[in-house]
Structure 1
Amino acid sequence: YCCAVDRALHNPSTPLSLVSAAMVGGNSGTPHIEYTIRYGNTTLTRRYSEFAALREALVRLHPACIVPPVPEKHTLVEMAEVRARGREDWMLVERRKRQLSTFLRRLARHPILATEHVLHRFLEPDVLWTTIISEEPLASLPRLSGSQRISLVPHGQGLLAPPLPAIAGTPQPKHPDPRFRGAEEEAERFHKALRDSVEAPHRRVSRKLGDMAQTNAELGAIYNGFSLSEGAGAGLALERVGQAVDASFISGQSLTTALESGVGEVLGEYGRFWASVTESLGWRRSRHVRVEMLAAALERKRAVLTELEGGNLGVERTSRPYGITRTPSSPESSTSASLSPSPSPAAVTAGSSTPPPSSRTKKPPVPTLRPPPHSHPRRKGTGIFGRLAGVFQGMLDVDPETTRRDHVGKTRNEIILLERELEDASDQLDRANAAVLQELDRYHRLRARDLRQWMLAYSKIHATWCHKNLKMWEEAREEVERVESFP
């Protein structure tokens, strides 16, 4: 364990939960709600914005992980209604408190996120969130290179990989992996089925149960009023019926609250879980798109190299029959060598001890009337024409063979760099695939367990509601049966 908080999180006998919520800062500063966290003998308070910032930091630190969602923020309409009423909507606060408590418990049970020291610092008392984001690894996270590899350590020790730089739009790979394509389609189907076939009908049922509870409250008052105007037998029976109706009102409210906390919140949480799953799959998809982009760039460079090498071979085949050979010399030297006349006798004499035959009988030759093209100094032009002539002459002096050879070398170096980058990106993609598949498997097992639990909770809540109502209505029936019938 890296610290005392890490040891406490891995201790099954140390529950982690939010125990209370309180409004603070009413007189000095902006009023806000602080939630009290307790685990073992440690107690601390955090704001909702700090919970949201913690989740965002975990997503950036572990993009392959499916980070549990936090409850949504209050909408402007909800805040306006709360301020118009002049009081805080504590039902909304209690619901958010339960959801944030579920968020922390899911983090504590996660095999990778539970070992993240940022979470441990978040759970340390008297540590400000501004202090946490100024420390490592959050302080250097924006400066991390996007090509850093995923560090997936066995036994869930950590998964650190910064997301790749954002690519314009939402690119899709040309050759998607069928495993993850199927995972994306399955997640979308589950989200739509949960939203349209389960969550929407559940909300309608909860709303109708709440309306029925209010109707029972009014009906119970009417029965209780009738009991005062009747005789002993009928009045007592009407009073029992009124009490049974009142009990239906109370149990109906309890049923609505229990369904909201035990079923509705779970359905809403898995609706937000869908966004977490798509975040993880989208991050992996960006790695896949990166590999395909590098492979396409490598193929283009190889095609350019093939074309350049083919041009070199064509030039050699064309030059060979004429006895022309290319040497890696400068343009000036090659031009001078091809245009200069035969060497003078004086130059030959200087290079050899035996003078040429003509030098024994003849005088030294008179300098030729047509000197070599480069023997006299080039007249410098003036004005714009002179500058254009210089530029044109420079263009003519460029050796195309040297240029082509430099281009071939540069292209080969680019291909080597692209091959290394593609190998590194492919290795990152393999690691990302393994990490995301592991997360998807864990998420599916967690989802199956949670769905089983909330279905059992739904059945138990209804069974409890029915038993309470049955007991009260049986007592009312016994009292009604004692009333003497009219002749």
Structure 2
Amino acid sequence: MSSFEDNNPFAADGSVSPASSDHKTDYLDGVSARRQSITSTGDHSDFHPIEATDAQYPRPRSGNCCRIERFLCPPDGPNEIVVTDAGKSSEGSGASFIVYTINIGDYTVRRRYSEFESFRISLTRLFPTVIIPPIPEKHTMCMCSPILPLIQADYAAAPTKAKEDQNIIDHRKRMLQVFLNRCAALTQLQKEHVFHRFLDSNASWSEVLTSPPLSLIPKNVLKAPPLDPASAESSPNHQYLPTTISSSHKNKSVDPSDQEFIMAEASAKEFEAIIGGGVDKVNRRMMKRYSELANDYAELGARYNGFSLSEFGSLATAIERVGQAVDSNYVNTVALVSALAAAFAEPLGESIQFAGVVRAVLKYRRQKAIQLEMTIDQLASKRSQLEELEKSEIEAKRIEGALKRLDPQSTQPPGPKSLDGSDPKNADSVQPPATSSEPKVHKKKPSSSFKMFNKLNHALHGMIDVDPETTRRNNIGKTREMISQLEGAVGAAKTDTQRASDAIRKELCRFQKDKEADTIRLMVAYARCHVSWAERNLDAWKEAAEEIEKLRDE
């Protein structure tokens, strides 16, 4: 048996300390209403994802709750969040760390990478059916520098030092800004106060993590409703849902209704293999060669310039013009590598991460479906057990009735006896033992083996059921109670599975549109980078050729 919690992509890393009752009461007042329906904007021009209609996500209140929400939800669409700076900070502690400065309109907040990480984990627990955008990996091989092999070698040799490299910091800064703007474009998150508090400089993020709604989510999110895990109105039946998975359920044949999700998961794996193992791998190799080409251009330009110093007159000038054109190639190639890293390599890496996020959401839905099957099997098992207990009860009553008819006296309970086993009614006839003048003889103390036998005898008596009839009836009562609980759990699991399937189906449709728009934008950016590089190189060589032609005419 393996725990759902071990395989659950939405499980918390650790237990969350409960919030005070006052905080919970305040939150319960705010979450009583359901969130309004979500409508699609259909805007493909912006970088942000396209939204699909979804009316199933809870909403704590109507109107804007704070200044951050007013910024995120203006009438003309969400404003852009900008990560303006990244620098070292200690803030009272001995060790320094990198903090990222976030501008939300006129407001500024500073957050660490670890806070971004915990924020995203919190979102996946609050919205397990939503494809939450990824953040840049903590240990990533940065593609932002033209000296790529050097950066990779530095990172492998000294990760602590390399993670403070400006190229890596700039990479994270760009991708964290993309993450925040993608979150702001999701209508499910625009009204979420956890998002607002993350962007609020007056909010302590450690307090947000230990207060509602995050503190109301069960440690295992599979024990909560999929559309609103933090809802205080969730059914108590969820606590009876199983959290372990057996090999029989893990290897169970695929339900026809799950076929579309199985195909979606296979498609995500295929996309991840094609992009990660194919396009991204070749692109890394090409960028490495572009970096090497830039170094070669730099060296060749220096050679030409040195060659021009050894000549005189127009020949020296012509050689110098060629050297200048080669230097321009060096500068343009360095710019090409940087542009490809920002406009192509980074979004490509994000696409690979998105494929993993999609598979995690589909895995959650599959676990909810398996949870339903396990609950149904447990209910059937308990009903079968109750049937056997009731049969045993009927059989015991039948035997007891038959014995009464055969020998009414045999079923009468025996009368009380004295300690020595004699009948107390004849106690008067029992003569006391005669006194003797002989000296008393001290009895030997029981041996240790005799004491051990008494203990063993006592333990065996404790294991023997002295009242099987009462035990049987208690078992029947407990089994009926468990059946009632499992019936409620089956109802909750059916509702959860259906709602999770519907929400994830809509989310996959939204994500597919986003992926298509992002891929088109990615290909256009890739082409423009090369066109710009080629045009600037062509201009440099045209200018050199014109200058050389003038010299030849002279």
Query: What is the TM-score with the length of structure 2 in the denominator?
Result: 0.68
Change in 2 beyond 3 A, CA 1:296/1:211:
same
Change in 2 beyond 3 A, CA 1:246/1:26:
farther
1:43 aligned counterpart, secondary structure: strand
Gaps of 5+ in 2: 1-63, 141-152, 422-452
For 2:497, give the aligned amino acid. L
Give the structure 2 partner of residue 8 of structure 1: 71
For 1:266, give the aligned amino acid. P
Give the structure 2 partner of residue 63 of structure 1: 128
2:533 to 461, 465, 469: 465
- Displacement of 1:138 after TM fit? 2.2
Q: Which moved more, 1:19-28 or 1:464-473?
A: 19-28
User: Does the 8 Å contact 2:123/2:132 carry over to 1?
Assistant: yes
1:38 & 1:235 partners in 2: Cα distance? 53
Give the structure 2 partner of residue 205 of structure 1: 286
1:25 & 1:236 partners in 2: Cα distance? 55
Give the structure 2 partner of residue 95 of structure 1: 171
2:109 to 44, 59, 70: 44
**Does structure 1 residue 242 correspond to structure 2 residue 305?**
no
Which of the pair has more CA radius of gyration?
1
- Displacement of 1:436 after TM fit? 1.6
**Does structure 1 residue 117 correspond to structure 2 residue 193?**
yes
1:13 & 1:63 partners in 2: Cα distance? 23
For 1:172, give the aligned amino acid. K
2:119 & 2:467 partners in 1: Cα distance? 65
**Does structure 1 residue 229 correspond to structure 2 residue 306?**
no
Gaps of 5+ in 1: 341-371
- Displacement of 1:301 after TM fit? 2.6
For 2:510, give the aligned amino acid. R
**Does structure 1 residue 73 correspond to structure 2 residue 143?**
no
1:45 aligned counterpart, secondary structure: strand
Alignment RMSD (CA, Å):
4.0
Give the structure 2 partner of residue 425 of structure 1: 493
2:206 to 109, 125, 130: 130
1:476 to 544, 548, 552: 544
1:185 aligned counterpart, secondary structure: helix
- Displacement of 1:304 after TM fit? 3.2
1:255 & 1:456 partners in 2: Cα distance? 15
2:78 & 2:131 partners in 1: Cα distance? 26
**Does structure 1 residue 455 correspond to structure 2 residue 455?**
no
Query: What is the TM-score with the length of structure 1 in the denominator?
Result: 0.77
Q: Which moved more, 1:194-203 or 1:178-187?
A: 178-187
User: Does the 8 Å contact 2:222/2:243 carry over to 1?
Assistant: no
User: Does the 8 Å contact 1:173/1:288 carry over to 2?
Assistant: no
Give me the identity figure in percent: 34
Give the structure 2 partner of residue 362 of structure 1: none
User: Does the 8 Å contact 2:125/2:221 carry over to 1?
Assistant: no
User: Does the 8 Å contact 1:219/1:245 carry over to 2?
Assistant: yes
1:84 & 1:65 partners in 2: Cα distance? 36
- Displacement of 1:182 after TM fit? 1.2
2:252 to 151, 159, 174: 174
1:406 & 1:77 partners in 2: Cα distance? 69
User: Does the 8 Å contact 1:172/1:285 carry over to 2?
Assistant: no
User: Does the 8 Å contact 2:87/2:98 carry over to 1?
Assistant: yes
- Displacement of 1:149 after TM fit? 2.5
Q: Which moved more, 1:444-453 or 1:26-35?
A: 26-35
2:413 & 2:116 partners in 1: Cα distance? 81
Q: Which moved more, 1:1-10 or 1:466-475?
A: 1-10
**Does structure 1 residue 23 correspond to structure 2 residue 100?**
no
- Displacement of 1:395 after TM fit? 6.9
Give the structure 2 partner of residue 359 of structure 1: none
**Does structure 1 residue 54 correspond to structure 2 residue 119?**
yes
For 1:224, give the aligned amino acid. N
User: Does the 8 Å contact 2:339/2:529 carry over to 1?
Assistant: yes
2:521 aligned counterpart, secondary structure: helix
